[in-house]
Amino acid sequence: MNFDALVMNITQTHQSLQQATISAINRNLTIRNWLIGFYIFHFEQKGEDRARYGDLLLKKLSASIRIKGFSETTFRLNRQFYLLYPQVYEVLPYELKKHLMQIHPTVSGEFQQIENQTPVGGDSNLVQVMHVPASKLLNKLSFSHIAELLPVNDPLKRTFYEIECIKGNWGVRELRRQIDSLNFERCGMSLKPEKLSAMVADKAEKYQPEDVIKSVYAFEFLGLHPKEVVEESRIETALLDNLQDFMLEMGHGFCLEARQKKILIGDEYYFIDIVFYHRILKCHILLELKMEKFQHWSAGQLNTYLNYYKKEVMQTDDNPPVGILLVTNKNETLVEYATAGMDNKLFISKYLAVLPDKKQLERLVMVELRKL
């Protein structure tokens, strides 16, 4: 064996086993969530203590189970996953199926009709909505994909997006974009749906297996902190580091609360670049950095975060949160302050006096960009 062959063998071994590990994480995470849905649903149907818990079951579960990432929302998501994807039963190991039968003795018979259905792509000419085989779902889609599909109420539409997502190897954002842009409906109206599908596939953002590890569901499953997983470019990291130091060095009551602060809005996770609390202004200050020119959605995103903090985080003796939006490109730096609907002119004057001047922030960003 020569040196080049040694390099190739080590590289191929690493890549193949890394891929196997990622696939195992994705598969186990998806099966875990399905099983949680099974347990919750059958407890609600026949659990001995169901009357005692009633509609508060998911809330009580989230308060009783101290595992990272488990919440009322995730339990609801898992229950919905179980109900909409019964075919996952097909791929469960024998020991797991045996365990489920001990909990619910008739479970095997209930799933038999699912196993006997012709999967999508089979030879049956039956005109009905068929399910994508569970093995393909688990091998080709992450649970983040599935979470995007669960709100699609029409089974035919959901199956359409499953197939297109697998065929086109769509990333999660691409799947969300295609659902939001009504791809299913547009294909139905199109005289040449195959041509539309090919155009979408050509432009689609592709899914990479390692994206599984970057998902919120995966790092909670693995017990990791978001900062260990959330990727930032070298420039973004350097800019945020310096912005953080700059704000703290100003004094005037700035206290760093979090970097990449994770918040849950509905069923989706979002990350705020930097969150401060200001002791003098008695309010949170949310800082968002966008490495691009100003887009209207950037302001809308920051305003969403401010409204979340106003409703979910702000204490009775706090002032409304303040947002700082930095939008940068090679030619200019735009700094905007958002005030979440403040109507107290005295407070507005006060925060303008205490927060950094916009020109100062612009100069800081431009200096750091030139260094990089």
pLDDT tens profile 179-215? 888 888 888 776 666 766 766 666 666 767 666 666 7
What confidence score (pLDDT) does residue 38 get?
92
Same domain, 183 and 331: no
In the listed set 214, 243, 265, which residue is the last one of a domain according to the structure?
A: 214
Per the model's pLDDT, the better-predicted residue between 308 and 19 turns out to be: 308
Q: 3-state class of 119 per DSSP? A: coil
The number of folded domains in the chain is 2
136 contacts: CB under 8 Å, gap ≥ 6: 166
The arithmetic mean of pLDDT across residues 324-337, rounded, is 73
Same domain, 196 and 257: no
Same domain, 22 and 141: yes
What confidence score (pLDDT) does residue 326 get?
83
Same domain, 67 and 207: yes
Same domain, 63 and 106: yes
Same domain, 348 and 298: yes
- The answer to whether residue 282 scores a pLDDT higher than 70 is yes
Question: Which helix (H) or strand (E) is 316 found in, with range?
Answer: none
Per the structure block, which two tokens stand in for 41?
Answer: 């649903």
Same domain, 248 and 204: no
Question: Which helix (H) or strand (E) is 135 found in, with range?
Answer: helix 134-140
**325-327-328 Cα angle (round to 5):** 150
- The answer to whether residue 327 scores a pLDDT higher than 50 is yes
Same domain, 77 and 198: yes
- Pair 367, 360: CB distance under 8 Å: no
Same domain, 362 and 288: yes
Same domain, 278 and 173: no
- 344 lies in a domain? yes
Per the structure block, which two tokens stand in for 204?
Answer: 């689609």
- 228 lies in a domain? no
The CA-atom distances, in angstroms, between 306 and each of 116, 251, 312, 338 are: 51, 23, 10, 8
Q: Calculate what percentage of the chain has a pLDDT beyond 70.
A: 73
In the listed set 214, 248, 275, which residue is the last one of a domain according to the structure?
A: 214
Same domain, 191 and 260: no
Same domain, 204 and 347: no
In this prediction the pTM is: 0.64
- The answer to whether residue 155 scores a pLDDT higher than 60 is yes
Domain that includes residue 133, residue range: 3-214
